Amino acid sequence: MISSLNVYFGNLDNEKPETKYTLKIINPSEFEVSESFGVAKVEDYTWKQLMDSDACTRCGRCQDNCPAWLTEKPLSPKKLVNDIKDNMDERMPKLMLADDPASVETTPLIDGSVLADEFWSCTNCGACMEACPVNIEHVQKMIDMRRYKVLMEGDMAPELQTTFQNLENNFNPYGFAFAERGAWLPADLGVKTIAEDQEVDYLYFVGSAASYDKRSQKIAIAFLKILQKAGVKVGILGAEEADSGDAAIRGGNEYLFHALMTQNLENFNAYGLKKIICTCPHDYNVIKKEYKKFAAVGIGSDGNPLKHEFEECHHTEIISELIKSGKIKLVNSLDHTVTYHDSCFLGRYNEIYSQPRDILKAIPGVQFVEMSRHHDTSFCCGAGGARMFLEEHLGTRVNQFRTKDAQSTGATRLCTACPFCMTMLSDGIIELDIQNMECYDVAEYVYNAMEK
Ligand code: SF4
Ligand code: SF4
């Protein structure tokens, strides 16, 4: 009965890629008046979140697809949901009968029913929610507990604390100087900052990875060369760009997320930007979804309302269109067996599955093979949910689990479309000492195959 009701009252946002799995935003005005953020007690959850917990049929599909569970972390999404329900069943009757709710003592939710290692193990990959037959939303429940830990107790792993400090001081998670954010851009590409030239087809939101990480910069340069060849004009924000804030919101630091998001939205608004391209699916997803929610309630530093009047594209969408329209011609044969890894934030979160595959299949000589887990049942690389910036002390390594999936296809090339996946899978190839496999972004593969 509760399971059916849960489906009936299911979050309709999750039925459209434009809004699927969007996190709840803390209204900025709450930072002025509220005394507590996130969830510490079961009654802090919404009625719908509690109904969710009661709706579980214990089918185990979420657990069977969870990268944390399958790599021996202490997180099972099935157990998590049922532990929240048990806590609710113990606490709620006592709360209802109590004259003074503050005096009610029951098993604590955090570090009682649910251990911190459980919710910090989550990569936010969405596999549990995709598999659940009764539409239970696991990720928001864990983000809510992370928010409590970070915002109320300042309790987080030291490496995540350093990441947040870097984001606060230099607007990137690595700690490099913010003024150097645009320094990676080769002058011969003819790309200018938006401050210099606003007559562009798109803003390229470079993101922190491609701004500072050498491997990711190769992807950005390959992509810009493709655009240059196709006659598509883009600009970048350079030092005016801040990190998108994906790691901040998913790491539970909503306050920091608001600051980063406000800086970016103010620039998008000030320059009147209407089209934005990202090569990082995390940036693409958060700018498309959580920025939109925030803009509906957020106020800029000048006191004016923020706006979300632009559309986002991922670079695989653009490249796919350029190939279809004939603006890019793929002429060089790349005689490889190629498999493709779906980034969770591109695939499950935004249902961009066909474009990267169409691109790879259009390249002469490519023999395309799927991994056993692909499309909506794809398996995380281990970097989502701010885990890119957390040590993996527990269980076995998620990136190696996924790299073995790729290895078992017999492919010699592993392609992806996310800088975090690139890092995790490249590390997996090295850690497993796989000699005959190399990892590339789809953009690099296209650049190698196209007519120059
Ligand atoms: S989002 Fe992914 S890692 Fe987190 S509980 Fe669900 S399946 Fe597991
Ligand atoms: S998939 Fe949904 S119903 Fe099945 S065990 Fe997981 S949470 Fe419960």
The model's pLDDT over 38-95, given as tens digits with 9 standing for 90+, comes to 999 999 999 999 998 999 999 999 999 999 999 999 999 999 999 999 999 999 999 9
Ligand 2 residue neighbourhood (C-beta within 6 Å) = 56-62, 77-78, 81, 131-134, 136
- Max CA-CA distance within the chain? 77
Give the model's pLDDT for residue 5. 67
Confidence (pLDDT) at 10: 73
- DSSP letter for each residue of 248-275: HHHTT-HHHHHHHHHHHHHHHHHTT--E
- The answer on 11 and 133 residing in a single domain is yes
Tell me the angle at which helices 315-324 and 214-230 cross, rounded to the nearest 10 degrees: 30
What pLDDT, on a 0 to 100 scale, did the predictor assign at position 1? Answer: 64
Ligand 1 pocket test: pick from 380, 390, 424 the residue with the most ligand atoms within 8 Å of its Cβ.
380
In this structure, are 346 and 427 located in the same domain?
A: yes
Q: How far is the CA of 140 from the centre of ligand 1 (A)?
A: 11
Indicate if 257 and 341 belong to the same structural domain: no
Centre of ligand 1 from the C-alpha of residue 89, in Å: 24
CA 245 to centroid of ligand 1, rounded, Å:
20
Alpha-carbon distance of 429 to 436, in angstroms, equals 9
Secondary structure (DSSP) of 399-429: HHHHHHHHHTTT-SEEEES-HHHHHHHHHHH
> Do 384 and 280 meet the contact criterion of CB atoms below 8 Å apart?
no
Asked if the structure places residue 56 within a domain, the reply is: yes
Distance CA 64, CA 69 (A): 8
* Nearest-atom index, ligand 1, CA of 380: 2
| Whether residue 88 is found in the same domain as residue 183 | no
| Ligand 1 lined by 66 (C-beta under 6 Å) | yes
**Same domain (yes/no): 192, 218:** yes
Q: Are residues 131 and 8 in the same domain?
A: yes
Q: Checking phi first, is residue 58 left (phi over 0); if not, alpha (psi -120 to 50) or beta?
A: left
Same domain, 193 and 62: no
In angstroms, the CA 234 to CA 434 distance is 38
Asked if residue 59 and residue 143 are part of one domain, the reply reads yes
159 domain residue, yes or no: no
Residues 181 and 284 in one domain: yes
Residues 6+ apart with CB under 8 A from 23: 139, 140, 143, 249, 250, 289, 290
Torsion sign over Cα 119, 123, 124, 130: negative
CATH number at residue 132: 1.10.1060
Q: What total number of domains does the chain contain?
A: 3
Which residue out of 63, 66, 144 has the highest number of ligand 1 atoms within 8 Å of its CB and is therefore the one to mutate? 66
Q: Tell me the pLDDT tens digit for each residue of 207-220.
A: 999 999 999 999 99
The two structure tokens encoding residue 348: 């499950």
pLDDT of residue 8: 67
Domain encompassing residue 269: 175-317
Assess if residue 166 is contained within a domain: no
CA of residue 135 to ligand 2 center, whole Å? 8
Residues of the chain below pLDDT 70? 1, 5, 8
Domain boundary residue, one of 118, 153, 188 = 153
* Alpha helices by DSSP H, 171-280: 207-212, 214-230, 246-250, 254-270
pLDDT in tens, 335-394: 999 999 999 999 999 999 999 999 999 999 999 999 999 999 999 999 999 999 999 999
Query: Which secondary-structure segment (H or E) carries 61?
Result: helix 61-64
> Measured in whole angstroms, how far is the alpha carbon of residue 161 from the centre of its chain?
19
